[in-house]
Structure 1
């Protein structure tokens, strides 16, 4: 727009340079679809580290082979991945807490928020959820504290894997509303209430609460006191010695705690019991470090020997003897009205892994991801037949072509010999899976399984190779073949089949990539062909780096030329597009991404009246032609040696 000054002076006008920058697209974002120990179903979980994997999808689990693929991706150099958990019938753990009138008031479901939406997090992991409620708040009539823990067993002792504490919560509208506060922050549970519930009170605190205790009650306590404690197998008399009547509730709590602990030295549940002061009451909670721990136990204290229980308000007439902790594995009792254990569900079938695009399930859940470059579905190879494998991979291959991504296809676990690998590859070809965006590696890799004392087990190689690809991209570039003595396989204890050069010479011309073991470099990737890389096919996309380089350029230009849409379709636009793409290709040339000693030999960019005719202009089309001379891997290095004989004299 022309600037028209209104008065004398000095004016500045910032003029755009007209230069457009195209940034190279990412090449090493991996996606994994399959079963995991935890995580919301059919939702892509973004991960950058093993810690993210542990938090988001439960980490390594012996029951889920896809979890080993994700772990191998990070161990071999991968930096960003998405995991999509699928399961036909997994269920989430649920706990319903009641108010003091035994009406349901608050439901806790294993889950978390993803993108601001509360989602169930199904699986048996939810059975490890423990919830404590207490009323140690400024206003116990309207506020409560919630402690949520995910526990694990260590040598028969339950310890907290992670703990979340939420204080001064309410069930009314406001900044401390329990549903709003917990649901936004928790990685363990999501809270809800049913509209028809009659319970409007707060959830009853866990543990055993005394009645109100006054200083007059404390003054009446004699030095020698007994109390009856019922652990579910009959009442037992416990001596609680006081040398003098306690003068404060804290002294009464300390004396009662000491006496109860000393009475049960062999039971870790009671030997770690705690007695705390809550307002004018005493709260008794048994210890949790016991192999016999039952969070649903209701403590019962009676008074049949002395007046101690009555003095401390601990006699059986109290109205708030609750479960030790709310937990999905409880039998509904006291003030917990519902306890539903979580379930992992059955094994995934072809339909579960494939999913449906209309509902964004299976690998179609990746529609919610902006971009990914590699897809692995390790469980597809264990579906029992190539027909079942094709039911997943045929649709996945089409999907990856659309997304400009590569797809790993793994051989089944019983592929033990070169002959079996040949047979399987032939069946894959017959199923129509020889496509340029597909790649396969043989044999399987043996990885240590923490669930079996780190004894090695065979696993699909796709996760390991996805990590090797990402590492190679970072160290050199997408144009470098992810193979050779530098393409080492980390954390791979052994290969399922130790291949000879002759055996390698059988599968390589068929488009199957070998994983080899050599004395010094160890286990390495020793092939870089796509599934159309068989010699007889003579495909332009024979090699993995060539195909990936093309996809990289396509993705980069797709993202980098969005600005051109709806611009006037004439020479100025063509010049600007040509300049931007040339600058991008020249940058790749300087990095050594192409063949040729000069830009003219390495690439060509054309966008003018020859590529875009008047008919194209009338149709709203602008045509850009980009060509490049790819670097092909030196698959065969031939050294010729000639013996020269020197004759003296």
Structure 2
């Protein structure tokens, strides 16, 4: 059942001769409560039908389920879901072992995990009293014969010394594991009720618990254990992360948003933030945002919330807009096109969703000045609308990164180069590798220049790639300095990429091409002085925290 994330992750380039791919990240991550499914495991879904199969579909206590529905209705392509829960408990299943009982429990907690098991002794030697075969099935509903997933385990044993000891073997199961001690006697053969035919099943007990409403702490999780948000650490190609409201009337707290923003910064993704449910008007949104003082060039917010049909309640309800926003942005085109086009597409909702409140044109521009975007359900007759913003709102080191298209483009460039140059982590830290890396990245940036990027400067000033002995030594990983022109003339984006066998790190840096002396502020970690040839232009590279 479980999707393999490796199937959707970007394959690392095998050699420098292979060009860096221009595929833009479109994967949106949702973290929250669902009806069923494994906890803290990122699972990719490509349709709402996929989501129903893995996570049980719409569920009133799960705003995430509605957000995923809105995502695909608005044109979303693929999403990765991380289920979290608060004090949820799994169902159990009891297999008779003579006078004792072998207890199994579901891997995934909740009341909607309908499991059954069958035991037989087929192909087990007649003198072997410890071995048996076990079949575990997930069915659609109690008493249903519609099997959604099945696992078969041959020649299991109740002997702890056996390599087929049931406790050890079921560690590989996606459905069940052993709870408690294993009896000395093997499980009895399961028979069809009222017969001696060995084709019966034992159903799970109705003792699961869906748990309590989740909290910010459940969302945040643990970096050490890889839970909550940090379950996404292994996921590549993330474009957006969205945390739906914790419950119908409970917004995500500031603590979770701050952790999620930092996580998105480290993953080079964008966090989609819902407008609080208390925002009743544009002026109130502006006042509240000033008081909140939440600024980040890795976060974006759209206003207002949306109205959509609640198919469980049979009426129109108001929802957070993050799922719809993620779907809208996913279908709006790749990051390269969004950055180089003269005009972004309007943030138009499809007909399945409407605006919960109407916003007039003047308020639209006032909100944009605060970094808040406004959704549309009908086309703007004036054909003029503010460019989409991030929540940086002047707080970013780069004016470019106050705009969503430019921020997405810069993240695309950084991510593409990081993925496309992973091959060098296993190559010698030598001049031959440095030269190949430099050529590969330069070719990639030249292609982007031909597509219309870096148009604010002449071609010979569009980008800079340094990978040589000035920033590399034999003891450390392979360091690559990359700089490319921002949309605003005279501004540049710069970063230092380091590849090591254990992984890669990316640090934003400040590169000054012309100043011979430079005052280093306390916020800067280190200063590296480079001298370019043949012009001998002095470059100071300051690595930021």
TM-score in terms of structure 1 length:
0.62
1:443 aligned residue: 304
1:150 to 139, 144, 147: 139
Alignment partners' CA distance in 2, 1:483 and 1:542:
16
- Matching residue of 2:105: 109
Instruction: Name the counterpart of 2:329.
Output: 469
CA distance in 1 between partners of 2:475 and 2:396 (Å): 41
> How do 1:41-190 residues align onto structure 2 when only pairs under 5 Å count?
41-99=39-97, 101-105=98-102, 107-110=103-106, 120-126=107-113, 128-129=114-115, 131=116, 133=118, 146=135, 148-152=137-141, 159-163=144-148, 171-172=156-157, 189-190=175-176
Residue 349 (1) aligns with residue 210 (2): no
SS of residue paired to 1:497: coil
Q: CA deviation at 1:546?
A: 0.6
Contact 2:437 2:467 in 1 (8 A): no
CA contact (8 A) 2:30 2:241 kept: yes
**Which residue is 2:508 aligned to?**
none
SS of corresponding position for 1:33:
strand
1:376 maps to which of 242, 258, 274: 242
* 1:198/1:581 CA distance change after superposition, 3 Å: closer
Structure 1 segment 510-549 matched on structure 2, within 5 A = 510-518=370-378, 528-533=388-393, 539-549=399-409
Find the residue that maps to 2:352 and give its secondary structure: coil
Let me know the Cα RMSD of the aligned residues.
4.2
Q: Give the drift of 1:534.
A: 5.3
After superposition, the Cα gap between the structure-2 partners of 1:538 and 1:84, relative to the gap in structure 1 and judged at 3 Å, is closer
Contact 1:19 1:579 in 2 (8 A): no
1:140-169 CA distance string (max 9 Å, x none): 98867757352348xxxx645535567896
Q: Could you tell me whether the CA contact under 8 Å between 2:219 and 2:229 is conserved in 1?
A: yes
Deviation, structure 1 residue 538: 8.1
Q: Residues 629, 191 of structure 1: CA spacing in aligned structure 2 closer, same or farther, 3 A cutoff?
A: closer
The within-5 A match list for 1:534-573 is 539-564=399-424, 567-568=428-429, 570=431, 573=433
Work out whether residues 349 and 383 of structure 1, in 8 Å CA contact, stay in contact via their aligned partners in 2: no
Matches within 5 A, 1:414-453: 414-429=278-293, 433-453=294-314
Report the CA distance shift for 1:76/1:594 in structure 2 as closer, same or farther (over 3 A): farther
Query: Equivalences for 1:196-275 in 2 at 5 Å?
Result: 196-209=182-195
* Alpha-carbon displacement from aligned partner over 1:340-398 (angstroms, at most 9, x marks no partner): x111111111111112212222201212324422111122697867xx72211112111
CA distance in 1, matches of 2:49, 2:28: 17
- Structure 1 625/152 Cα, relative in aligned 2: closer, same or farther at 3 Å? closer
Aligned counterpart, 1:366: 232
> What is the TM-score with the length of structure 2 in the denominator?
0.72
Larger Cα Rg: Structure 1 or Structure 2? 1
Give the superposition deviation at 1:122: 0.6
2:512 aligned residue: none
Query: For the Cα contact (< 8 Å) 1:534–1:542, is it kept in 2?
Result: yes
Matched, 1:627 2:484: yes
| Distance verdict in 2 for CA 1:367–1:17, change over 3 Å | closer
Task: Tell me the CA shift for residue 584 of structure 1.
Answer: 0.2
Unaligned ranges ≥5, structure 1 = 1-15, 111-119, 211-277, 286-323, 330-340, 633-649
- 2:260 maps to 1:396: yes
SS in 1 for 2:377: strand
User: 2:466: which partner in 1?
Assistant: 607
Is the 2:16–2:440 Cα contact (8 Å) retained in structure 1? Answer: no
Distance 1:555 1:91 in 2: 39
Q: 1:599 to 1:368 in 2, by over 3 A?
A: same
